[in-house]
Structures are given as C-alpha cells and as structure tokens.
Chain A
Amino acid sequence: MTKNKRLRRRKAARILSNLYAVLVYSVFYIPVAVMIVFSFNDAKRNYYWQGFTTEWYGKLFSFANTDLWDALLYSLIIAVLATLISVTIGVLGGIGLKKFEFRTKRFINMMIYVPIIVPEIVLAVAMLIIFMTVGIRLGMGTILIGHCTFCIPYAVVTIKGRITGDSETLQEASMDLGANRFQTFWRVTVPSIMPGILSSAFLAFTLSIDDVVMSNMLAGPSQSTLPVLILSLNRTGITPDVNALTTVMVALMVAGMLALNGVQRYLKKRENRLAAEAESKRSSAHAA
C-alpha cells in the first residue's frame, strides 16, 4: 500500500518535472517560432499579423534590399576574420598558458576573464576612448579588434580545458621520438585538441555575427553590421524580409552545427580506432 503510494508519488514527480522542462524550453523557443512565423506576414512592417505570404522570401532573394545584404556581407566578413584571428591567437594562447610558467601568467590569466565577465558596454566604451584618443579611424578594423577581444578569451578557456595530462605526455613522446617542435605541434598537439578548436571557432563565429554592442560603439559612419542595422530598423518597424533572412541564417547555423557534430564524432571514432590499433599492435609485439 505504502509502496504503491510512493510509486505513484514518484511517477507524479516525474511527470511534473518533465512538464517543467517543457515549459522552460518553450520560453526559449517561443520567440524563435514567432520570429519565423512573422517572416510569412503579409504586411509592410511587422506589427500585427495580417495574413500568410511567402513573398518576403522572394523579395529577399531578389537582392533588392541592398542595405540588408550589404550589412550581412559586412557582418560575415567580420565574423570570418574574427574567427580566424581569435582561434589562432586563442589556440596558441591556450596551449602556451597551460604549458609554460612565466612571471605575468597569473595576470594574463585574469585578464582573459575580464572580457567574459565585465559588461560588454564597458569594454566597448573603454576601447572607443582609446581609439579616439590615439586617433585610430573607426571602421571594420576597430569592430574586428573589438570582436576578437571577446572571442579570444572563450577560445583560450575552451582550449585550456581540452589539454589534459594525456596530451602533454603525447607531446613529450613525440619529441622523444625525434620530432621537432613544429612537427609535434602540427601532428600531435593540434589533432589532439581539434574538437576544442572546432567548437571555439563555432562559438567565435556565433558571438561575432550576433554582436550589437561592440559593433555599434566601434563602427565608422559608413557601414553597419546586420545586428546594428536591425537595432536602428527597430525604431521604424522591422520589415518581414529581415525575419526571412534571420530564418535562413538559423537554418544554416543548425545545418552547420550538425555538420560540426558529425566531424567531431568522426574525429573521436578515429581516435578510438587508432588507439585500439596501437593497443593491439603493442600486445601482439609483446606476444612475439
């Protein structure tokens, strides 16, 4: 009887907790769903739902709205460059800060966390003041520097988390076997942290392409990034083709993430296979 009661209570708790999770997830997904639905809105500007149309996608891909496409192109160029720069510096830095001991290391380690924790507006304003005082012209270069400044720390933290005792042993083994530093770096270190490199690249790209604050503060007068354009459009009302573009971008991002997942899974499988082969070779050599 009591056991039955306890079972029933446990079942009720499970249903309740599942319900709770669904509720929280729906808070995350409702705005995305609404955003997508309003890309099919038959209205000049998105205020109210006025009927279904796919016309906005046609308009979007007729490239008539050059402001939108220029902004997207600008955002994409910045995001790609920011990803390349921040992953390069971040990966090297992650390895270096893990491997070496030097006097300023504690300080640099703390500085790494500053862009992650400090409100972005503070960092953006601080950089703006420096750029203006030194006399650096605002534009793509300054936006790029701003984006790299908050992308590098995430790359460093990701990479540092990836480097384990194992990979250090592997590096030593590689050097002992006669490989030089470059060979060791490219053929041992980099492959061993490849999943970390991929995920920090993905993170850098998503952070850069979605950034408003830095891009807004550090932009020159001529061209703005897509999010900054959206922020300014908000005053007059956002046209549904922006929703259409955002929908296309989300779809591409999800596809990109699935592909990345596939690559990471493949790398892991290969690693396991190679390890198994090495193991079997070693044991057969032992037997002989």
Chain B
Amino acid sequence: MLKREGTRRGKKRHSRLPLLAQAGPVSLWMILFVTIPMLFIIYISFMTRGTFGGVEYVFSTDSYQTLLDVVYFKVIAKSFQVAVVTTVLCLLVGYPFAYYIARKPPEVASRLIMLIMIPFWTNSLMRLNAWMLLFQANGPVNHALMALGLTAEPIKFIYTDWLVMLGLITNMLPFAVLPMYSSIEKLQKSMLEASADLGAKPSVTFLRVTLPLTFPGIFSAIILTFIPALGIYTVTDMLGGGKVLYIGNIIKNQFGAIRNWPLGAALSVLLLAITALLIFIYMRFAKLEDMEVV
C-alpha cells in the first residue's frame, strides 16, 4: 500500500513539470487577472461609498437600491432596448449574409470572410468618426437628401440614438456573421436534399431543418453582439456626443469624475449576471468550446 503510494507520487512528479510549464502560466494569469478581479468587484458592489470617493468597507446594498432609482433605471432600460434592437438587426442582416458566404466554394468563402475583416483593421474610433462626418447637418447625406428634394431642412442625425445604433450595428455585425457562417457552413447538404426529396417546400426546409440546425451559431451570435452592445461606451461617446448615456458610460463615469465605486461595481455585476445567464442557457444545448469566437 505504502509502496504503491510512493510510486504513484513519483510518477506524478515526473509528469507534472510539462503540465506546470504549459498550463501553469495561463491558469495563473486567468486566476490573478480574471477570477480575483471579478470576485472582488462583486464584493465591492456590496460596500459603502466613501465620502471622498473610493470605498468604505462597510456592508450595504445601497448601490443596488440606487440602480432602481428612476434616473438609473431609465438608462438601464434604454441600454437594454438599444442592445436588443442592435442584436435583432444584426441577426436579420447577418443571417442571409452568412448564408450567402457559406454557400460559396470554400476558397471563395475564405476570401469573402477576409473581406469582412479588413475594414476592422482601421481604428474603430476613426470609423465611427466617419459616420459622424457623413451625417453632419452640413454633411454629404443631408446634402444628398436635400438635392433629391426629400427634405427641405437638414435632418439632425448626430447625437441621436439612431446614429448610435448605426455605429453599434456596423461594429457588431461581423461578430454575428462569423459564428452563423461557421454553423451554416457545417450544415450537411444531404439534410436539405432529404428534406426537399420528402416534399418539403424551401420555406419549410428552412424553418424546420436549416434554422434549428444552425441555432447554436445563432445563439453564439446573440451572445457576441448583445453583451458587448450592452456594455460599450466608445460608440456612445463618439456618436452620442456625451448626450446619449448607456450603462457603459455610467460605469465609466463612476471611476472618473463622479467616483462612486460601489455603484460602478453594482452596474458591472448586473452586466456579469446577464452574461452568466446567457452563457448558462447556451451551455444547455451546446459546448462553450464550440462557440466560434475567433
């Protein structure tokens, strides 16, 4: 018994070194800079706001009560509304687009995917700024609309929710397209043929075969667009001109001039909880490892 224990331990030590060298750094990094900060932010969210900013380590649920305050609740509700609309539009625009690419031969499809990626090497803020330049009161879009006689006065696009939404959709769309593309691409052609052979109309085949089989891709797309859209603040800063406030802006502000850490932490925990919920649902029918994120 004792001897067996000894040999087992010896063997283990022998095989431990490569494990530690390879899985060690990444595990340590993730625990130090992801797990611990995440746990700590939950802890901070239940603390009291310090008189001069920062935190007083006294338990309270003040920050969560503040979230129910009309002012904050409105912002949260609006962020949700915008994130939902963005996600739905990304899915509606992205699915046919992903389908289009997936039906091409692999060589062409990979080129087309590349073509999606290239614009994203342009600084994202400069791309947002470009929308601003296009939609200025005196900008090209308004000029064109007036020249066509569609409007007499320039339309005010900038600093509106619409422009923010446009910015969000154009920034998020690739993250919706890529996972849907890869699940459509994996779809067996024989399945569709079988459905057609059995007499199903194309629309029925789509609804009863294609859509259910590509659902994991669709749900990945939902996660990868909805959650970032909920937390993003650069788009609102660039296109909302500081006049349109979403959750992300409020969180950011708690760590700048306003300095209410527990409130910022509580809002972050809210976003974390929503993320966890969506991931939980996702993991009921697909593996996290199968989520196409790259």
Residue positions of A touching B, CB distance < 8 A: 17, 20-21, 24-25, 27-35, 38, 46-49, 88-90, 92-93, 95-97, 99-100, 102, 104-105, 108-123, 125-130, 133, 145, 148-149, 152, 154, 156-158, 160-161, 181, 203, 206, 210, 212-213, 216-217, 226-227, 230-231, 234, 238, 242-243, 246, 249-250, 253-254, 257
Q: Please count the residue pairs between chain A and chain B whose beta carbons lie under 8 angstroms apart in the complex.
A: 242
Do A123 and B248 have beta carbons less than 8 Å apart? Answer: no
Smallest distance from the beta carbon of B240 to chain A beta carbons, Å?
11
17 A-B residue pairings within 8 Å (CB atoms): A24-B93, A32-B130, A49-B140, A93-B27, A95-B22, A96-B26, A102-B23, A108-B26, A121-B248, A121-B268, A121-B271, A125-B251, A126-B38, A133-B40, A148-B33, A149-B33, A216-B252
Determine, out of B69-77, B131-139, B186-194, the stretch whose residues face the partner at the interface.
Answer: B131-139
**Number of residues from B at the complex interface, CB < 8 A:** 81
Contacts of B231 in A (CB 8 A): 119-122
Nearest 8 CB-CB pairs, A to B?
Answer: A119-B231, A93-B26, A96-B22, A96-B23, A126-B37, A31-B130, A34-B130, A31-B127
**Docked complex Cα distance between A251 and B100 (Å):** 28
Which chain A residue shows the least CB distance to B27?
A108
Smallest distance from the beta carbon of B280 to chain A beta carbons, Å?
11
Do B121 and A242 have beta carbons less than 8 Å apart? Answer: no
B213: interface (CB < 8 Å): no
Do B33 and A127 have beta carbons less than 8 Å apart? Answer: yes
Do A119 and B248 have beta carbons less than 8 Å apart? Answer: yes
**Docked complex Cα distance between A95 and B25 (Å):** 12
**Docked complex Cα distance between A133 and B230 (Å):** 27
Do B21 and A92 have beta carbons less than 8 Å apart? Answer: yes
Instruction: Say whether chain A's binding surface is mostly helix, strand, loop, or mixed.
Output: helix
Say which residue of B36, B41, B130, B228 sits within 8 Å of A30 (CB atoms).
Answer: B130
Smallest distance from the beta carbon of B266 to chain A beta carbons, Å?
11
Q: Most chain-B Cβ atoms within 10 A of its Cβ — which of A95, A230, A243?
A: A230
Contacts of B114 in A (CB 8 A): 257
Say which residue of A49, A100, A129 sits within 8 Å of B37 (CB atoms).
Answer: A129
Smallest distance from the beta carbon of A60 to chain B beta carbons, Å?
14
Do A154 and B293 have beta carbons less than 8 Å apart? Answer: yes
